[in-house]
Structure 1
Amino acid sequence: MNILKVNGVELAYDRFGNGNDEAIILIAGLGTQMIRWTDSFCRILAARGFHVIRFDNRDVGYSTHFSHCPTLDFNALATALMSGQIPEIPYTLNDMANDAIGLLDALSIERAHFIGRSMGGMIAQIAASEYPERVLSLTSFMSSSGNPALPQTDPDVMAMMTKPAPNPFDNEAGFLAHSLSFAKRIAGTGYPFEEDAYRALIMEEAQRAYDPGSVGRQIAAIAVSGDRRPLLGTIKVPTLVIHGVDDPLFVPVCGEDTASAIPGAELMLVDGMGHDLPHQLYKVVVDRIEQMARRN
C-alpha cells in the first residue's frame, strides 16, 4: 500500500501486474474501501495483461478523511435540493473524478481503462465525459445515471444503509450484525452468501479506518451530482454497463438507463447478482471487460 498527495488530498493505492501494460483504475463504491476490489479479482485482471490500480477514495480507508466537517443533515440536504438550491458540501463526485485523474498524473500514466462500482461507476462516468483523452474505456458496474424518473431504492434498503451502526470497537457483535444484515439484503439470490468472508472483509475495513460520517458525506456528493445523462451522451469511449438482475439498491432499469444514455454502450445483465460481485462471477466479468477494453 502506497500514499500520494493528489488534488489536495492523500490517496492510498495498490498496484498489480506489469507497469508497462495498459492501466486499469478501479474505483470503489459508497463508503467502501479499495479492498472491496479483492486481491484475487485484481490478479485475474493483471494476468490478462493489465496494470491494475485500486485506491481508497477520499474520506475512506487510508486516504484523507473529512471528519472535521459537520455531520450531514439529510432533511436539510433534501429540502435544499427540492428547492433548487445547491447545498454546501465537503466535496463532489467531480472532485472524486479529479482525484482519479490526479492519481494517474502522479503515477505518470497517460491513459487508463476506468472501472467503477456503484458510486465509483458514477465517478468513472464523469471522468469518461470530462477527460475523454485520459480514458481508454469505461465499465460502469452496478451504478446508475442519476435520472430522477428512475425507481427509487426500496425504503427498507435505504433505512438499513443510513441507520447508524454500533461502534465496532465498543460493540463488535452489534456492528457485525448490522453490517452483515445489510450485506445480505443487497446480495443476489444466485450465489451463496459467504458470511465468513464478508465478516472478515467488514472487520478489515473497520480496522483500516472507521469513520461513520463518511457515508453521509459521500451520499451528499451523489445527491448533488443530479442527472448525469447529458454527460453520458458525450462519452465516446467503448463502454460496458454491468448490472445484477437482483440488485435492490439500484434496480436493473438503472443499468439499462445508463447504457441507453451512452452511445454504443454494451449492457450486461447478470442473473442472480445483486449489489455485489461474487467471486464465482470474476472470470465471466473479466472476460467481458477484457473483450470490451481490447476494442480500443
Structure 2
Amino acid sequence: MRATANGIEICYEVFGEPDGRPLLLVMGLGMQMIGWDEDFIGMLVDRGHQVVRFDNRDVGLSTHLAQEPDLMAVLSGDRSSVAYTLDDMADDTAGLIEALGWDAAHVVGASMGGMIVQALAIRNPGRVRSLTSIMSTTGPSVGQPTEAATAALFAPPAPDRDAAAQRAVETWRVIGSPGFAMDTDRVARVARESYDRGYDPAGTGRQLVAIITADDRTEGLREVTVPALVIHGEDDPLVTPPGGAATADAIPGAKLLTFPGMGHDLPRELWPEIVDAITELTGRETAG
C-alpha cells in the first residue's frame, strides 16, 4: 500500500486487526521495511497491536531523491549536498501516522529509526503514544562506532545482487550479535529481496548524511512526556552502549533494557523479552 505524506510517497504494510493498539515500526540506515521480520511482527500482533512497517524515503518502494550526496564534503563542513534531515524523516513519519487515520501511534525505531522516532516525539508529541528507541543514540557524538564497524559501514556499494547478499552477511558478522548465532540464510535472503525491491546506494548515502549532520536531541528529549523504553545491546559496535544510556538518561522516566551478547541487530532468542517489554509499555500508556 502507498500513502502520500510530507510531499513524498511512502510504501507500507499493515498487520493485525483495526482494533489493535496502533504501533509503527521505523527501520534504520539503508534498511527496507522487510528488515522487520514477519515473525517478530506476528508476536506484536498476538499481543494486541495493529502493526505497520514502511520504507523510509530513499529505500525500497518509497520516494527516492536525485541529489548526489558528497560525504567527504559534508565531513569537511560543506552541507550543500545535504538533501534532507532527520527532522524531515520524522515529519514523513508523522504524515504517515495521519494518512493511516491514526491520531497517534506507539512508535518503535531501530538505529536510525530510533533517531527518527526521537525527533518525532520532540517535533510532533501529539502523534506519539509511547516511544521505543532500539540500538540508537541522541546524536552523532554519542555512541560512536568502533573502527571495524565504521569500515563495514563505509564499504563500497555491491556491484550486483549476489554481491549484495554476500556483503550483507559480511557486514552483520562485524556489527551483529557476538553472543548469538547469526541466521546467515535470512540475512542473505533479505538482502536479495531488498536488492530486487530497490537497490539505491546513493539513497543510503543521503540517509547517512542526514544522520551525520543531525543536531543533538538531548535537550528536546528532556521535554518528552510519553512512556519510553530504550533497548540496547551491550556488545553493539555500530552504536556503542553509551548511545543507549544517553537516550535513557535524556527522556524522563525512560526504562533502559540492555542485553549482553547483543550487537546491532535483534537476535531471535531475545524477541520474546523485547516484545514483552514493548507490550508492557504500550499497555501502560493505554491504561493511563
Q: Under a length normalisation based on structure 2, what TM-score does the superposition of the two structures give? A: 0.95
1:39 corresponds to:
38
Structure 1, unaligned runs of 5 or more: none
1:248 aligns with 2:248: no
- The one-letter amino acid paired with 1:144 is T
Task: Give the deviation of 1:177 after TM superposition.
Answer: 2.7
2:273 corresponds to:
284
1:65 corresponds to:
64
1:157 aligns with 2:157: no
1:51 corresponds to:
50
Q: Are 2:164 and 2:191, in contact at CA under 8 Å, matched by a contact in 1?
A: no
Task: Give the deviation of 1:226 after TM superposition.
Answer: 2.1
Q: Spell out the pairing of 1:106-117 with structure 2 (5 A cutoff).
A: 106-117=99-110
1:15 aligns with 2:8: no
Task: Give the deviation of 1:87 after TM superposition.
Answer: 4.1
- The one-letter amino acid paired with 1:102 is G
- The one-letter amino acid paired with 1:217 is R
Q: Under a length normalisation based on structure 1, what TM-score does the superposition of the two structures give? A: 0.93
Structure 2, unaligned runs of 5 or more: none
CA separation in 2, counterparts of 1:248 and 1:267? 18
1:78 corresponds to:
75
| Equivalent in 189, 194, 198 of residue 178 of structure 2 | 189
Task: Give the deviation of 1:9 after TM superposition.
Answer: 0.7
- The one-letter amino acid paired with 1:163 is A
1:128 corresponds to:
121
CA separation in 1, counterparts of 2:12 and 2:276? 24
CA separation in 2, counterparts of 1:133 and 1:143? 22
1:104 corresponds to:
97
Q: Which runs of 4+ in 1 moved over 4 A?
A: none
Between Structure 1 and Structure 2, how many residues are aligned? 285
Q: Are 1:245 and 1:271, in contact at CA under 8 Å, matched by a contact in 2?
A: yes
Task: Give the deviation of 1:77 after TM superposition.
Answer: 0.2
Q: Are 1:61 and 1:205, in contact at CA under 8 Å, matched by a contact in 2?
A: yes
| CA deviation vs aligned residue, 1:32-51 (integer Å, no higher than 9, x gap) | 01111111111111111111
1:259 aligns with 2:248: yes
CA separation in 1, counterparts of 2:104 and 2:70? 38
1:204 corresponds to:
193
